[in-house]
Every structure is written in structure tokens, then in C-alpha cells.
Amino acid sequence: MLFSKEYSFIGKHASYVEKLREKLFFRYVDIYIIAPIVGVYYKRKASTDNTDDRTAKIFAEQLVGEMRKLEFAYKLVLLCDEKYAKYENLEEKVKRIFSNDEEVIKENMKIFNEYVLGGVEVLYEKIIEENEEDAIGGFIEFANEFIGEVKNKQALEKDLQEIFEHLEIENYAND
Amino acid sequence: MIIRRIKLKNFRQFKGEHLIEFPYQENRNVVVICGPNTAGKTTLIQAFLWVLYGKTDFKTKDLLLNLEVADLMMPGDKEEVLVSLVLVDKGIEYTITRTQNYICRSNGNVVPEDGGGRISYRELNGNMKHVVKQNDINDYINRILPEELSSYFFFDGERISNLSRKDKAGKQELSSAVKSILGLTEISNAIEHLSGGSKISVLGMFRNSLDLESENRAKEIKKKIEELEDERENKQKIKADIEKEIKKYDELIKEIEEILRQNEETANLQKQIDENNKKINLLEELIEEKIKGLRGRISQGAFSYFCKPLIEKIEKDLKEFNSSIDVVPKIQAETIDYIIKRGICICGNEIEYGSEVYYRLAELKKFLPPYYLGTAINDFLNDAYSFKKEAEKFLYEIMKMYEEYMKKIKEKNDSIEENSEIMKKIGEKKNMESYKKDKELYSKQKQIKEKELIDIVARLENINKQIGESNKELDRLAEKNEKNKFIKLCIEYAEKIRETLEEYYTRKENEIRVRLNEKVNQIFSQMYHGEKRRIIIDSNYNYEIITENIGSELSDKADESRGLETVASFAFISGIIQLAKERITAKFVNKMGDEEEELEIELESEPYPLVMDAPFSNVDEIHVRNVSKILPEIAEQVIMFIMAKDWNYAKDVLSNKVAAMYELKKLSETCTVIQRV
């Protein structure tokens, strides 16, 4: 089962999410569900920082409480993951993402959590590091930036797609 | 003074009424009354003296009343003795009357009772004036013919010798009598009037009316005014100082009040600060809420917001991928298993194992996730759609919330800034208490000074009032002092007049005496035919007969006959009378400074009659003639009571000067009649 166990941020990410929770989000779990979205969008993955023993724990009950969003985030993040983009067969990709197989889920979770940590870093950088005092303002700026980028990105992608269609290329690189 | 007539009634031997007229003409100014001795010649003189002076010199003093008349009186009877004299003096005719009443007592004694006198005259305005008081009568008579001189003008031949002796029986007031006749009395009266007794003389009265008191007072007041003015100056200085001090205190107090007022402003500002702080607190709460709200919204809504673009990125493909498949949404294989196991469908029908329903359901399992992907994808897309929907308003909402949040933060910051501005205004917070204390102190001291000021102002008012009053008094005194000055001036004048008069008097007196001496000697030499003798008159108007060849010491011892004495007396009297007869106009040169003023004083003397009783009794023949010749020329009027034998000697010389002649006929010892011849 997805998200049935408690999760802990470790090391620097623990301190990041502590800060983020202090300044902006109410709960770690709130960060947990947003971070991977941000991480996959900014194509940012990070690995666990084991350098120190700081931890920030999310209890299983909290995860269960946000199951719908978590599950959705999991699927969305994987769908947008570039690794999966390499799959020629969309069906295969989807099958794998939507699979109930424990092993598959384990691997998927690994990717997902990397995006979580990456997203945390992005959030930290963009919000806390930018303007710790006004984290909310920072967030709003970030949110605006996000749209702008997205808009630009999407516009760009749209243009690219059109170009590729003209050129009859199915898959295209994102960068 | 001229004698007009005399009336006698029962006077001594003149029984009944007798009237003697003394006619008077310029060239006939002698009236002779002849009679033997004891006929009453002396009595007649006495009558004059009695009517004038109330004096008699009779041996039987008391009874003036005619004895025959007295004898006829019965007890209770009254008889009157009366003498009435009419004379003219200085143009006014006086009727002088004296009466003496006698009453017969029960014992037959006739005694004097009351008596009285009267002077009547006609005043210038025509009214008759009657003087009845004896003192007044005496005054009048003494003005007409002073008693001291009566012996000269009522000449008693038998007493002639008295005149020449310097003895007490003589005339001690002779000098004043002479002066009176010669008119010097007026001057000496004037002098007396000017400088005599301190209460009634002019100088005395002036001096008395001098208000030296006021002069002293004026000095006192002037001193007082000076002192007051000094004090005033002093106090005015003090007043100025006090006013300065009050002003200083005012300023200090104002300064402090300004500070206190600023402090009030401070209080106000403090109030503002407090209000702002309240506001700030409210805002902070509000902000907290807003933050919470924002964080909540973000925490809750950020997910779908961030998902949205990713969804949009992949949903097209997914939709395409999933489009053809018709799946039952949201059912999983587990669900079928559960229903089959239950044996009852969700619609309620039984599901028997192996039935058609059973197989149909089993079939469905194939299309259900996890067995069938599409379902899962569908679910996913549905979620995606709902998340996308959620995300639509997110940014707008949080931006709105953020705007408001920012507003509140701005408000809060504005308030905070305002407060810090206000704090700046307040500046250093000083200890207001000490200022308040200072203000109180200054206020108290100011009060004290103000009271002092009031006191000084009052004192100054008082001083000014006193100065005003003193000046008024000074003015009043000045009037008095003016008066005094005037009086002093008058005194000076009076003194000067007195001096002048005295000097004049002395000179004149001397002159007169010299002239008298001359005159007397002149007459004497005319009267006396003997050896060369001279009469010397001393300053007291006593005269001495000196024989020229013999020194004066011896002259006393020289044998002087009574005739000589008589002649000398005649000469003396004649000299006086003659001088008196002349009007003496004095030219008195008053040397005042450089100018010589001539002071003319007219000394008027009245001509005087000579009433002589037996004038020639001691005089020999030749002298009688000589004297008779001179007397009428010297005296204004001569009335002689003479013996027949003496008349014989004088007849030749005098008869052409006689205006009337009377004879005294002695009827008895007690009765004589007067008959005109």
C-alpha cells in the first residue's frame, strides 16, 4: 500500500522542512505532497542527506489523511518523470505507474521521494532563502513565477510540438 | 477854647441862678468881674473847676449848696446845686453841666445826695449828643482842657508861687500838660498808640497777631514734605525693583508652564501612542489571523495549484489513451470479490455462485483495476480534473489575501512609524515633578512680591496724599505767612513811623522848648522891669528865674519877691499860651536815602482863655500895667476876677479891651449876686 508508513525527512531536508513549516506550511505532510510536484517540475531530484541526524517525521495517520492527494501526486509525478518519458509505449508506462505490484511500487517510490527532496530544496531555495521573513510573499512570488514559467514553458512546448508535428517527430526532448 | 457863659445855681454864695456871659470880640477879649474880697471871686474860679473837674477846694468842703437855701429846707426837701458852662472848642459848642442834689434829712441836716454831670453838644450832622457817663465826661473835658493844666488857665493868683518851684506840690505832669497844649500830645499819643502797651498799641497788636506758630509750623511741614518726597523716591525705586522681580517670576513661570504644556502635549501624544499601540496590537492579531489564513490556504491549496500545469501537460495523452474505454468508475476488482463473497449485489439481488450474475461480475473484474488500467486512468483523470478546478482561483485568492495582509502590515507599520515619530517629539522625558515644584515656588514668591507691591503702592498713595495735604497746609500757612510778612512789613512801617514821629517829637519838643524859652523870656522882659533876669525852662518844663550876673546856684538864694514870681509865672503861662495860640507848622525834613522828603505836620493848638483870680494881688503897680498890656494879646480870652483897687491900676490899659464887666455884690455872708455893669 502506498503511503501507509510514516515518513521522516532527514538531515538538511529535515531542517528545510522545519523552516518551511515554521514559516509557511502548517504540516510536514503539506510540504510532502507539494514538494514532489515542484521537484518534478523543476526536474530536481535529491537524495537523502545522512550527514546529520536531524529528522522531521510525518506520522502515518497524517499520510493516510491526505491519501487521495498523495496517490494522485505519486501518479502525476511519475507520469511527468523524464525517465518515464523515455518509454516508447505509453501503455507500458501507465501500466507501470498504475501497477499494484510491490516491487514496482517500491521503485516508483524511490523516484517519488527523490523528487520530494528535490522539491523541498527548490521550495527552500525559492521561498526561504529568497525571503525568509516574508515566506508567504516569497511563496506568492514563487507561485507567480511558476505560472510564468509554466506559461512560457507550455507556450514553448506548444510551439515545439507544432514544429515537431510539422516535422513528424512524436517524441521530443524537454530541454 | 473860648468860654461863652457860665450859669450858677445855688452854688455857694451865689444863691439862685446867676448867668455870666463872656462876650468875645477880637479886640475886646477881656471880661472883668469886680468885687471885694470874699465876695466870691475865688468861688467863681471854683465853679469853673467844679463844673469841669468836679473839684473844689473849699474849706468847708461838703456843702456847695447855698447856705440860705439849705437853711430853708425842711426835712424831705431837695435842692439842687447846678453849674452850667458853655464853651466852644475846636468849633463845637459844648454845654457842660454839673449838678449836686441835697436833701434835708429828718434830723434837719442837709446832706448831699446824688449828683451828676452832662455834656451836650451838637454834632456835625446836626444831632444833639449827650454824654452822661462820668468817665466819658472826664474824657471830653480832658481833651478840651486837661486837668493838669487847669491851674494855668484857671489862674489862682494866690497860688502863683507854686508854679516856679520844683517841688512835689508843683506840676510833675507839667511837661505833659505843656505838650498837650502845644499839640505835642497828639504826636506823643500817636507814638503811644503806635508803640505803647503790647496789647493795645499798633505795634503790640501787630506783634500779637504775628502767627509765629505758623512760621514754625511751616518749617516743620516743609521738612516733612522733604522727608516724604525722599521716601517717595525711595519707595518708587523699590517698587520698580519689585515689578522687575515679578516680571522675572512671570517669565520663569511661563517657561515652566510652556514645558508643562508641552508635557501635556506629550500626554496627548502619549495617548496617541497608546492608541496606536492598541491599533498595532489589533492589527497584529489581525495579521496573525491573516497569516494563518494565508498559510492555511496555501497549505491546502498549493497542491492543486502546482499540479495544474503538470496535469495540463499530460492529460491530453492520457485522455486519448483512455478515451475509448468505457469503464465503470471507481470500482476495483476487490470490490467485485467482496460483492461476490457477500452474495448480495449492491443493488440487492442475490448473487449465486455460478449464476449468470456471478459470471457477469467475474467478467467485469477484468475491466477493473488494478486489472484494467483505464479505470485507474479514468479515476486519475477525474481527480486531475477536480484538482485543476480547485487550482483555478487559488492564486487570485491568496494574492487577494496577501494584499490585505500586506495592507494590514502597512497599517501596522504606519502606526509603528507614527509612534516612533511621536516618541521623537516627546523627546527626553524630564521629571515634571521638579518643574511643578519650581512653578509652585515661583508662584508663591510672586504672590509675596505682589503683596509687597500692593503695600508699596498703597504707601505711595498715602505719601502722595500726605504730600498733597501738607502742601495744602503749606499754602494755608503761606497765606498766614503772607499775612505775617505783611504784618511784619506793617510793623516795619509802624516802627518807622514811630521813629519818625519820635525823632520829630524830640526835635519839635526841643524846638518848642527853645521857642517857649524865647517867648517866655521875651514876655518876661516885657513884663519885668527889674534887673536882668532870665527864665530858664528845663526839660520837664519847670522854670527857673536866674539872675544873669549871678550863677544859677546862687539864684536860688536870691531874694525873689512874690511879685517876681508872679510875673515869672505870668510870663511862663503867657509864653505857653502864646505858643499855643500860634499854629505851628512844622517842616520836617526826612532824609530818606538820597531824597529829602518834607514831612509837614500841622500841630494845631487851640487858643486858650485865661481865667484869673486876683492876678495882681502880689504884683506891684508897674508890673500890673505891664502884665495887663500883654495878657490880652497873649491869651485868646481873658477873664479876670479882680478887686476894685487892682482894677484901678489895670483900667487904663485894659478898659478898651473889656467886652463886659460884672460886679459881685455881696449881700450877705451867704449870698452874693452878680450884676452886669
C-alpha distances (whole Å) from B154 to each of B161, B319, B637 are 14, 200, 12
Is the minimum CB–CB distance between B367 and chain A shorter than 8 Å? Answer: no
**What is the CA B226 to chain-centroid distance, rounded?**
19
Residue with cell 485522455: B319
| pLDDT for B568 beyond 80 | no
| pLDDT for B23 beyond 60 | yes
pLDDT (0 to 100) of residue B59: 62
CA distance A41 to chain B (A): 7
CA distance B440 to chain A (A): 54
| pLDDT for A37 beyond 90 | yes
Residue B641: helix, strand or coil by DSSP?
A: strand
Whether B303 and A91 lie within 8 Å, measured CB to CB: no
Is the minimum CB–CB distance between B383 and chain A shorter than 8 Å? Answer: yes
Beta-carbon contacts of B544 under 8 Å, excluding residues fewer than 6 positions away, are B164, B166, B535, B536, B537, B538, B552, B555
Confidence class for position B586, pLDDT limits 50, 70, 90: very low
Bridge partners for B591 per DSSP? B596
Average pLDDT over residues A147-174: 63
**Amino acid at site A7:** Y
| pLDDT for B566 beyond 80 | no
pLDDT (0 to 100) of residue B340: 85
Q: Write out chain A residues lying below 8 Å of B402, CB-based.
A: 136-137, 140
Nearest by CB to A69, from B291, B303, B309: name it: B303
Whether A157 and B313 lie within 8 Å, measured CB to CB: yes
Is the minimum CB–CB distance between B325 and chain A shorter than 8 Å? Answer: no
pLDDT (0 to 100) of residue B531: 65
Ranked by mean pLDDT, the top range of A51-65, B184-198, B207-221, B492-506 is A51-65
CA distance A98 to chain B (A): 7
| pLDDT for B82 beyond 60 | yes
- Residue predicted with more confidence, B285 or B535: B285
Whether B398 and A30 lie within 8 Å, measured CB to CB: no
pLDDT digits (tens, 9 = 90+) for B414-423: 888 888 888 7
pLDDT (0 to 100) of residue B342: 87
**Residues recorded for chain B:** 677
- DSSP, residue by residue, B191-213: HHHHHSSTTTSHHHHHHHH--HH
Q: In chain B, pLDDT over 90 holds for what percent of residues?
A: 11
Average pLDDT over residues B24-45: 83
pLDDT (0 to 100) of residue B674: 82
| pLDDT for B608 beyond 70 | yes
Is the minimum CB–CB distance between B149 and chain A shorter than 8 Å? Answer: no
Whether B314 and A80 lie within 8 Å, measured CB to CB: yes
- Residue predicted with more confidence, B276 or B176: B276
Q: Write out chain A residues lying below 8 Å of B301, CB-based.
A: none
Confidence class for position B168, pLDDT limits 50, 70, 90: very low
| pLDDT for B211 beyond 80 | no
In angstroms, rounded to a whole number, what is the distance separating the alpha carbons of residues B567 and B625? 11
Nearest by CB to A30, from B299, B312, B373: name it: B299
Whether B317 and A90 lie within 8 Å, measured CB to CB: yes
Lowest mean pLDDT among B419-428, B466-475, B630-639: B419-428
For chain B, the C-alpha Rg in angstroms (whole number) is 78
For chain B positions 455-484, those within 8 Å of chain A (CB to CB) are none
Average pLDDT over residues B355-361: 82
pLDDT (0 to 100) of residue B587: 43
Nearest by CB to A25, from B298, B398, B402: name it: B298
Q: Write out chain B residues lying below 8 Å of A123, CB-based.
A: none
Chain A residue with CA closest to B302: the answer is A34
Q: Write out chain A residues lying below 8 Å of B334, CB-based.
A: none
Q: In chain A, pLDDT over 70 holds for what percent of residues?
A: 79
In angstroms, rounded to a whole number, what is the distance separating the alpha carbons of residues A45 and B394? 26
Confidence class for position B240, pLDDT limits 50, 70, 90: very high
Is the minimum CB–CB distance between B514 and chain A shorter than 8 Å? Answer: no
Nearest by CB to B310, from A26, A80, A94: name it: A80
Whether B318 and A136 lie within 8 Å, measured CB to CB: no
| pLDDT for B107 beyond 80 | yes
| pLDDT for A136 beyond 60 | yes
In angstroms, rounded to a whole number, what is the distance separating the alpha carbons of residues A97 and A43? 18
Chain B residue with CA closest to A26: the answer is B299
pLDDT (0 to 100) of residue B593: 47
Phi, psi for residue B189 in degrees, rounded to 5: -65, -40
Chain A residues interacting with chain B (CB cutoff of 8 angstroms): 24-27, 30, 33-34, 37-38, 40-41, 68-69, 72-73, 75-77, 79-80, 90-91, 94-95, 98-100, 136-137, 139-140, 143-144, 146-147, 150, 153-154, 157
pLDDT (0 to 100) of residue B161: 53
In angstroms, rounded to a whole number, what is the distance separating the alpha carbons of residues A10 and A117? 10
Query: What b/e readout covers A23-56, taking b as 16+ CB neighbours within 10 angstroms?
Result: bbbebbbbbbbbbbbbbbbbebbbeebeeeebeb
- Residue predicted with more confidence, B201 or A123: A123
Whether A98 and B370 lie within 8 Å, measured CB to CB: yes
pLDDT (0 to 100) of residue B171: 47
C-alpha distances (whole Å) from B105 to each of B74, B110, B351, B577, B670 are 8, 6, 211, 47, 21
Average pLDDT over residues B480-492: 81
Whether A94 and B395 lie within 8 Å, measured CB to CB: no
Phi, psi for residue B8 in degrees, rounded to 5: -120, 145
Nearest-5° angle of CA B525, CA B531, CA B536? 55
Lowest mean pLDDT among A23-37, B180-194, B600-614, B655-669: B600-614
Confidence class for position A141, pLDDT limits 50, 70, 90: confident
C-alpha distances (whole Å) from B96 to each of B17, B81, B607 are 16, 14, 19
Lowest mean pLDDT among A29-38, B64-73, B373-382: B373-382
B359-367 contact pairs (CB < 8 A, 24+): B361/B336, B362/B336, B364/B328, B364/B331, B364/B336, B365/B333, B365/B336, B365/B337, B367/B325, B367/B327, B367/B328
Average pLDDT over residues B551-574: 63
Residue A125 DSSP label: I
Mutate which of A17, A21, A29, A37 to test chain B, going by most B C-beta atoms within 10 A? A37
Nearest by CB to B395, from A26, A143, A154: name it: A143
Residue A172: helix, strand or coil by DSSP?
A: coil
Mutate which of A136, A146, A161, A174 to test chain B, going by most B C-beta atoms within 10 A? A136
- DSSP, residue by residue, B513-548: HHHHHHHHHHHHHHH--SSSEEEEE-TTS-EEEEET
Average pLDDT over residues B133-151: 81
**Amino acid at site B561:** S
Q: In chain B, pLDDT over 70 holds for what percent of residues?
A: 84
Residue with cell 509802624: B494
Whether B313 and A91 lie within 8 Å, measured CB to CB: no
pLDDT (0 to 100) of residue A14: 92
Phi, psi for residue B94 in degrees, rounded to 5: -110, 140
| pLDDT for B666 beyond 80 | yes
Average pLDDT over residues B351-372: 74
Nearest by CB to B307, from A37, A98, A144: name it: A37
| pLDDT for B558 beyond 80 | no
Confidence class for position B563, pLDDT limits 50, 70, 90: low
pLDDT (0 to 100) of residue B589: 47
Mutate which of A87, A140, A171 to test chain B, going by most B C-beta atoms within 10 A? A140
Nearest by CB to B369, from A98, A144, A150: name it: A98
In angstroms, rounded to a whole number, what is the distance separating the alpha carbons of residues B481 and B645? 76
Chain B residue with CA closest to A143: the answer is B395
pLDDT digits (tens, 9 = 90+) for A49-106: 888 888 889 999 999 999 999 999 999 998 888 666 665 666 677 777 887 788 888 9
Q: Write out chain A residues lying below 8 Å of B395, CB-based.
A: 140, 143-144, 147
In angstroms, rounded to a whole number, what is the distance separating the alpha carbons of residues B343 and B280? 68
| pLDDT for B324 beyond 70 | no
Whether A25 and B376 lie within 8 Å, measured CB to CB: no
Average pLDDT over residues B490-498: 86
Half-sphere exposure of B352 (CA within 13 A, CB side): 3
Whether A79 and B318 lie within 8 Å, measured CB to CB: yes
Confidence class for position B372, pLDDT limits 50, 70, 90: low
CA distance A30 to chain B (A): 6
Whether B307 and A25 lie within 8 Å, measured CB to CB: no
Q: What ipTM did this prediction achieve?
A: 0.85
Confidence class for position B584, pLDDT limits 50, 70, 90: very low
Nearest by CB to B306, from A27, A37, A137: name it: A37
pLDDT (0 to 100) of residue A33: 93
pLDDT (0 to 100) of residue A150: 58
In angstroms, rounded to a whole number, what is the distance separating the alpha carbons of residues B295 and A139? 10
Whether B298 and A139 lie within 8 Å, measured CB to CB: yes
Q: Report the mean per-residue pLDDT for chain B.
A: 80
Mutate which of B288, B294, B313 to test chain A, going by most A C-beta atoms within 10 A? B313
Nearest by CB to B373, from A38, A98, A153: name it: A98
Q: Write out chain A residues lying below 8 Å of B398, CB-based.
A: 140, 143
